Chains A and B, each alone.
Chain A
């Protein structure tokens, strides 16, 4: 019995590893195509830069923390059968709330973080309520809320002079004030870790993220609430039949999902090293929650490692400049998502290889009915109910 679970988990990990290897391979090919002279060195920096110094490693951890949060956000929604493509909007609103409480209201960091959580939760709540009450597809709503969130935040920031850097002695108007000058108490504590790593990037945010991941794990796997959420995700009709309030769960799931992304925005911009810049394009940190969740197979523990990995190659990617555009890393990440879209297929193929020696229990007791065709539903990722909005 134990063996079976082991192999199932093993296959999931293996599928992720294969996606990563193929992604890196394609990245390497691109490096060769665009600038053969630097290709090998470029690949080298992608795969090794993150460990090259304690400062770089601190940066890996620093970026991984918000990625864990957005990854958890997307993954948590997946478990409930929802595709929260709106993590980036929730992340933006979360960041905004954190900064408003930090700069405008001069609150300590933990109040800011709570505000970020609430901001993200509100931005998840609206698509959730639209899905639950009106059956409007959450993918469409969240996409629109990404833009709405971005535009709203930009509009508000442009009309809150205190928030901007120039109010605090800096020269630029296109970004929020540096917390160090505006309100040092809003910076997430470093507890001496910065000394340990000799890096300004290091603070306790990675630990906050990991603790939250563990809490999410417990909610999903050990609690009745998680049982309900997953039942809704796998089969909404059956969960309604079982007396579970599916609508409430959809809303709650989106609220929690949004809150997680909001915290992500909070911990990134409360680090003291980042300033929110007013631009008209969506923040990639939120979008990168999607590959993180897929790579981590929506499991909170898997997401921790996936986020570390994505952050790691991004740090490596920055070192690619100026020979290459650092967006090569985004291509690698996109390839990884593309592959994980059919992770089920990869798993099935791998499963066949591995099953021969571990277990073929599935086939044993099957009564002589014609076999049901391979279930199409991808368990961890596919919101099969997705075509909502159209009964």
Chain B
């Protein structure tokens, strides 16, 4: 392989894995800036992935997928968003209405989601069938654009692993930024995460805004789950391999702001990808004498996050009222 095709592969794969991180971290941002700590992102991703993958399989069986591949994928994305949103309602209900501890509620959901996914996958696919395979038509190929397949840099970059989720992520990123900073809704949402009493005193319904924040995080988290599953490539196995937690780290690393979150997700994805390409990149150590050296690269993003968190802890600006249940009586 030439170095250009390796470079194209690396960039393409980085984007592929950055997409779920970006979506989920943006989701976390909406929830946390409304004042609800969303540690349940992992669970939300799993539920989104579960439901959308089942949808894809269903569409495939019905023959709809092969005839309308991208429409089918779009439906799956909608299902992922909707199921993530519904699941996130459990977090919203516990933490907003019942004023429960948000971290513990989220932990419960993180336990619930994979268990539920396994149980449901069993029920749908039969005993011991724990993997839901993703139909191959979901990928966007040169054919979709009527382009001749060629081994050029750009084709390698774009078409090697191109899914509708990537396009959706770009659109959602722009929407998220505009929504957060240019609209009435965004201003109100942020005020609820910073000073809910102030928001309440000017007639903003803190409960509603926090519900909105959590539901948006559910939508984005659900889509992120699907995006992760297509990126991982091996089908859905009732797990998103800790990406929900990694997205949480991306969000903190990104200081709860869209553009820095974008940067952080690319950075994290790059580290993940470098690991798999370490043999082909000359300047990287390949750990020839070490068995299963992939673990070293799996550990890297976490180590880097730790260091970054320690270095930036002084400048970190979490929403002030995050994690504190809002009680009208507290003034």
- B is bound to A: yes
Contact A345-B39, Cβ < 8 Å, known A143-B248, A144-B305, A337-B104: no
Interface residues on B, range: 35 or more
Which residues of A sit under 8 angstroms from B248, Cβ to Cβ? Answer: 140, 143
Residues of A within 8 A of B306 (CB): 130, 141, 144
Is B20 part of the contact surface with A, judged by Cβ < 8 Å?
no
Q: How far is the CA of A337 from the CA of B109 in the complex (A)?
A: 9
| Nearest CB on B from A263, distance (A) | 22
Other-chain residue from B98, B107, B318 in contact with A387 (beta carbon distance below 8 A): B318
Contact B249 A140 (CB under 8 A): yes
List A residues 139-195 near B (Cβ within 8 Å): 139-141, 143-145, 147-148, 151-152, 154-155, 158-159
Residues of A within 8 A of B330 (CB): 373, 376
B117 — nearest CB in chain A belongs to which residue? A327
Interface string of A302-344 (1 = CB under 8 A from B): 0000000000000000000010110111110111011011101
Looking at the assembled complex, report how far the CB atom of B115 sits from the nearest CB atom of chain A, in whole angstroms.
3
**Which of the residues B90, B103, B313, B318 comes within 8 Å of A134, measured between beta carbons?**
B313
Determine the residue in chain B with the shortest Cβ distance to A127. B306
**Given known A144-B249, A334-B111, contact A342–B100 (CB-CB < 8 A):** yes
Across the interface, do B123 and A34 meet the contact criterion of CB distance under 8 Å?
yes
Residues of chain B in range 282-331 having any CB-CB distance to chain A below 8 Å? 290-293, 295-296, 298-299, 302-303, 305-306, 309-310, 313-314, 316-318, 322-325, 327-330
Instruction: Decide if A285 is an interface residue (CB 8 Å cutoff).
Output: no
The residue on B at minimum CB distance from A290 is B107
Give the distance in Å from the alpha carbon of A353 to the alpha carbon of B41 in the complex.
37
Is A104 interfacial (CB-CB < 8 Å)?
A: no
Q: Is B242 an interface residue (CB 8 A)?
A: yes
Decide: A338 and B245 in contact? CB cutoff 8 A.
no
The yes or no answer to A354 lying at the interface (CB within 8 A) is no
Residues of A within 8 A of B295 (CB): 151-152, 154-155, 158
Task: State whether B252 touches A389 (Cβ < 8 A).
Answer: yes
* A341→B100 contact, CB < 8 A: yes
Distance (Å) between the CB of B158 and the closest chain A CB?
A: 30
Q: Which residue of A lies closest to B256 (CB)?
A: A390
A30-56, CB < 8 A from B: 30, 34-35
Contact (Cβ within 8 A) B327 A387? no
In the complex, A152 Cα to B107 Cα: how many Å? 24
Q: Which A residues between 88 and 103 are near B, CB-CB below 8 angstroms?
A: none
Assuming the A-B contacts A148-B302, A152-B299, A159-B290, are A325 and B310 also in contact, with contact meaning beta carbons closer than 8 angstroms in the complex?
no
Complex alpha-carbon distance, A390 and B309, angstroms:
11
Selected interface stretch from A4-12, A201-209, A253-261, A377-385: A377-385
B313 and A335 form a contact (CB under 8 A): no
Smallest CB–CB gap between A322 and chain B, Å?
5
Q: What's the nearest-Cβ distance from chain A to residue B251, in Å?
A: 10
Chain A, residue nearest B314 (CB): A391
* Bound Cα distance from A324 to B94, whole angstroms: 29
The answer to whether B103 and A83 have CB atoms under 8 Å apart is yes
A342 to B292, CA, bound (A): 43
Contact status of A327 and B107, CB under 8 A, knowing A373-B330, A387-B318:
no
Closest to A282 in B: B242
Bound complex: CA of A281 vs CA of B322, how far in Å? 30
Residues of A with C-beta under 8 A to B116: 327, 331
Query: For window 241-296 of chain B, which residues contact chain A by CB distance below 8 Å?
Result: 241-242, 245, 248-249, 252, 290-293, 295-296
Q: Is the CB of A140 within 8 A of B309?
A: yes
Q: Is the CB of A135 within 8 A of B108?
A: no
Distance to closest chain B CB from A289 (angstroms)? 11
Per the 8 Å Cβ criterion, residues 101-139 of B in contact with A are 101, 103-105, 107-109, 111-112, 114-116, 118-119, 122-123, 127-128
Please give the distance in Å from B86's CB to the nearest CB on chain A. 15
Assuming the contacts A143-B245, A325-B119, asked whether A335 and B101 have C-beta atoms less than 8 A apart, the reply is no
A382 contacts which chain B residues (CB < 8 A)?
101, 104
Please tell me which one of the listed residues A34, A159, A338 contacts residue B108 in the complex, with CB atoms under 8 A apart.
Answer: A338
Residue among B99, B118, B249, B305 making CB contact with A342, cutoff 8 Å: B99
In the complex, which residues of chain A have a beta carbon less than 8 angstroms from the beta carbon of B242? 147, 282
A342 contact set on B, CB distance < 8 A: 94, 98-101, 105
Q: Please determine whether B313 and A389 come into contact, CB atoms closer than 8 angstroms.
A: yes
B54 adjacent to chain A (CB < 8 Å): no
The contact string, 1 if C-beta is below 8 Å from chain B, for chain A 274-305, is: 00000011100001001100100000000000
Q: Does B22 make an interface contact (CB < 8 A)? A: no
Hey, which bits of chain A sit against chain B, CB under 8 A? 30, 34-35, 83, 85, 130, 134-137, 139-141, 143-145, 147-148, 151-152, 154-155, 158-159, 280-282, 287, 290-291, 294, 322, 324-325, 327-331, 333-335, 337-338, 340-342, 344-345, 373-374, 376, 378, 381-384, 386-387, 389-391
Between A and B, 22 residue pairs with Cβ closer than 8 Å are A30-B119, A34-B119, A152-B295, A155-B293, A155-B295, A281-B241, A287-B111, A324-B119, A324-B122, A327-B114, A330-B115, A334-B112, A338-B90, A342-B100, A345-B99, A373-B327, A373-B329, A383-B103, A387-B323, A389-B252, A390-B316, A390-B317
